[in-house]
Structure 1
Amino acid sequence: MARAITENFHEFVVEVETETPGTYAAICGLTARGINRTSNMSTSEVPDCDNEALPAAVERAVQSQEVTVTGQGVWAQTSHEMILDWWYSGATKNVRVKNIKAAVGDTEIEAGPAYLVSINNQGERGQKVTAEIEIQFDGVPTRTAKAA
Structure 2
Amino acid sequence: MAQPSTARFGKFRVLLGDDATPIVYSAPCGFTSKSLTLTKDLTEVNLPDCADPDAVAWIGRDASSLSASISGEGVAAAESIETWLEAWENVESVPVKIEIEFPSPAKTITWTGLMHVSSLNPSAEQGGRVTLSVEMQSDGELVRVVA
Common topology (TM > 0.5): yes
Q: What residue number does 2:79 align with?
A: 78
Cα contact 1:14–1:96 (8 A) shared by 2? yes
**CA deviation map 1:44-101 (0-9, x unaligned):** 0011122211111111111111111110101111111111111112221110111122
Contact 1:35 1:67 in 2 (8 A): yes
Runs of at least 5 residues in structure 2 that lack an aligned partner in the other structure: none
| Distance of 1:78 and 1:31 partners within structure 2 | 15
Contact 2:28–2:83, Cα closer than 8 Å, also in 1: no
Q: Give the C-alpha shift of residue 108 in structure 1.
A: 1.8
Give, in angstroms, the shift of residue 19 of structure 1.
4.4
Matched, 1:45 2:42: no
After superposing on structure 2, the runs of 4+ consecutive aligned residues of structure 1 that deviate more than 3 Å are none
- For 1:121, the equivalent position in structure 2 comes to 122
For 1:115 and 1:144, how far apart are their aligned partners in 2? 21
**Alignment-derived partner of residue 7 in structure 2:** 7
Scaled by the length of structure 2, what TM-score is found? 0.92
Count the aligned residue pairs.
Answer: 145
Structure 1 residue aligned with 2:96:
95
**Is the CA contact 1:41–1:64 (under 8 Å) kept in the aligned structure 2?**
yes
Query: Which runs of 5 or more structure 1 residues have no equivalent in the other structure?
Result: none
Identical aligned residues as a percent: 28
2-side partners of 1:50 and 1:83: how far apart?
Answer: 59
Equivalent-residue separation in structure 2 for 1:100 and 1:49 (angstroms): 49
Instruction: Measure, in 2, the Cα distance between the counterparts of 1:125 and 1:101.
Output: 39
Q: Secondary structure at the match of 1:51?
A: coil
Distance between the aligned counterparts of 1:101 and 1:23, measured in 2? 23
Give the secondary-structure state (helix, strand or coil) at the position aligned to 1:83.
Answer: helix
